[in-house]
Amino acid sequence: MLSEQEKLDSLTRLGIELSQINDLDILMERVLTRARQFVNADAGSIYIRQNDWLHFSYTQNDTLERQLPKGEKLIYSTFKIPIDTKSIAGYVAATGRSLNIEDVYSLEATLPYSFTKKFDETTGYKTCSVLTIPLENSSRAILGILQIINARDEGGQISVFSRQDERIMYHFAAVAAVALERAQMTRALILRMIRMAEMRDPRETGAHVNRVAGFAVEIYEHWAVRHHIDSKVIDKTRDVLRMAAMLHDVGKVATSDLILKKPDRLNEDEYEIMKQHTIQGARLFMHQQSDFDEAAGLVALNHHERWDGMGYPGHIDFRTGQPIKEYLTAEGRVRGKKGSEIPLFGRIVALADVYDALSSKRAYKEAWDERHILDQIEKNAGSHFDPELVEIFFSRYEILRSIQMRYVDEK
**Among the listed residues 48, 89, 240, 250, the single contact to ligand SIN using CB under 6 A:** 89
Cα 216 from Cα 29, distance rounded (Å): 29
Question: Count of CB atoms within 10 A of residue 196's CB?
Answer: 12
**Among the listed residues 14, 24, 88, 246, the single contact to ligand SIN using CB under 6 A:** 88
User: SS3 for 69?
Assistant: coil
Rg (CA), the chain: 26
- Closest distance between ligand SIN and the C-beta of residue 8, in Å? 30
Q: What is the DSSP string of 341-381?
A: GS-HHHHHHHHHHHHHHHHS-BTTBPPPPHHHHHHHHHHTB
- Closest distance between ligand SIN and the C-beta of residue 192, in Å? 27
User: SS3 for 58?
Assistant: strand
**Among the listed residues 24, 353, 392, 393, the single contact to ligand C2E using CB under 6 A:** 353
- Residues 367-396 binding ligand C2E (CB under 6 A) are none
Residue with smaller CB distance to ligand C2E, 83 or 348: 348
Count the site residues for ligand C2E by CB under 6 A.
13
The interface mask with Fe ion, positions 350-379, x = CB under 5 A, is ---x--------------------------
- Return the closest-CA partner of residue 192 out of 265, 274, 284, 115: 284
* Contacted by 195, from Fe ion, ligand SIN, ligand C2E, none: CB < 5 to 8 Å by type: none
- CA distance from start to end of the chain: 66
**Among the listed residues 40, 63, 95, 116, the single contact to ligand SIN using CB under 6 A:** 116
Compute the Cα dihedral for 371, 376, 378, 379 and give only its sign: positive
Q: What is the DSSP string of 168-224?
A: HHHHHHHHHHHHHHHHHHHHHHHHHHHHHHHHH-TTS-HHHHHHHHHHHHHHHHHHH
**Among the listed residues 357, 367, 373, 374, the single contact to ligand C2E using CB under 6 A:** 357
In contact, 161 and 148? CB cutoff 8 Å: yes
Cα 380 from Cα 182, distance rounded (Å): 42
- Residues 249-308 binding ligand C2E (CB under 6 A) are 262, 265-266, 274, 304
| Residue 198 is a binding residue for ligand C2E (CB under 6 A) | no
Stretch that binds Fe ion, among 239-247, 290-298, 349-357, 374-382 (CB under 5 A): 349-357
- Closest distance between ligand SIN and the C-beta of residue 326, in Å? 20
Q: Enumerate binding residues for Fe ion (CB under 5 A).
A: 249, 353
Q: Enumerate binding residues for ligand C2E (CB under 6 A).
A: 262, 265-266, 274, 304, 353-354, 357-358, 362-365
